[in-house]
Amino acid sequence: MQRIIFDVLLFIFIFLLPWWVVLILSIIGLFLFKNYYEFLFFSIIIYVLYSIPEYTFLNNSVYVYLGIIVFYLLVQYLRRHIILYKNELSYKS
């Protein structure tokens, strides 16, 4: 139930708050909830709403989406190796 409330509030905050506040909140959600795939969804929405369309090589949407996915995977990897989460993983296995 907490995850649903967090997602609804984050979706509303996308339209009310600056993009960087919503991005920080969604990164916090990555650490609070297990398998927080909504981060990918919210990051793509933020990119689509707030990006300025410049057609350069490095500003291609493919690279931004790839960066979002790599960041998500990196946080998931780091989450497994942070000391605070080790007890949670050893308890579940």
Per-residue pLDDT of the chain (93 residues; tens, 9 = 90+): 888 999 999 999 999 999 889 989 998 888 888 888 888 888 888 888 887 777 766 667 788 888 889 999 898 888 877 766 555 554 443
DSSP 8-state assignment for residue 82: S
Tokens of 41: 């969804």
pTM of the model: 0.71
Number of domains comprising the chain: 1
pLDDT, position 87: 57
Residue 76's domain comprises 2-92
Candidates 17, 21, 36; CA nearest to 75 is 36
Distance CA 64, CA 69 (A): 9
